[in-house]
C-alpha cells in the first residue's frame, strides 16, 4: 500500500525508482498500481516525473 501523504509518497516512489526500477512504468506494473494516480498526486505538490533521471523532480 502506498503512503497517503504526498511528500512521503514522493520519497517512497523516488527511492523505489532509484533502488529497484528502471522506469515508473515498470514500478507501477510490478506493484499493480495506476501510474496516472501517482503522477496526479505528485503533480499536486508540483513534482513531475523526469524519464531521463527516472525520478520525480
pLDDT at residue 29, rounded to an integer? 98
pLDDT digits (tens, 9 = 90+) for 6-31: 999 999 999 999 999 999 999 999 99
pLDDT at residue 9, rounded to an integer? 98
The cell 506493484 sits on which residue? 31
- Predicted TM-score of the model (pTM): 0.94
- Tell whether 14 is covered by a domain: yes
Number of separate domains in the chain: 1
Task: Work out the mean pLDDT of the chain and round it to a whole number.
Answer: 97
pLDDT at residue 56, rounded to an integer? 98
- Tell whether 17 is covered by a domain: yes
- Tell whether 1 is covered by a domain: no
Q: How far is 43 from 31, CA to CA, in rounded Å? A: 20
- Tell whether 36 is covered by a domain: yes
Does residue 1 have a pLDDT over 90?
Answer: no
Residues with Cβ within 8 Å of 14's Cβ and at least 6 positions away in sequence, in order, are: 55, 56
pLDDT at residue 11, rounded to an integer? 98
- Tell whether 49 is covered by a domain: yes
Whole domain around residue 20: which residue ranges?
Answer: 6-56
- Tell whether 48 is covered by a domain: yes
- Tell whether 24 is covered by a domain: yes
Can you read off the three cell numbers belonging to residue 15? 527511492
Amino acid at each position: 500500500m502506498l503512503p497517503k501523504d504526498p511528500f512521503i509518497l514522493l520519497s517512497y516512489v523516488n527511492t523505489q525508482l532509484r533502488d529497484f526500477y528502471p522506469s515508473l512504468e515498470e514500478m507501477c506494473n510490478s506493484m499493480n498500481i495506476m501510474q496516472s494516480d501517482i503522477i496526479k498526486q505528485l503533480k499536486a505538490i508540483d513534482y513531475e516525473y523526469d524519464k531521463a533521471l527516472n525520478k520525480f523532480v
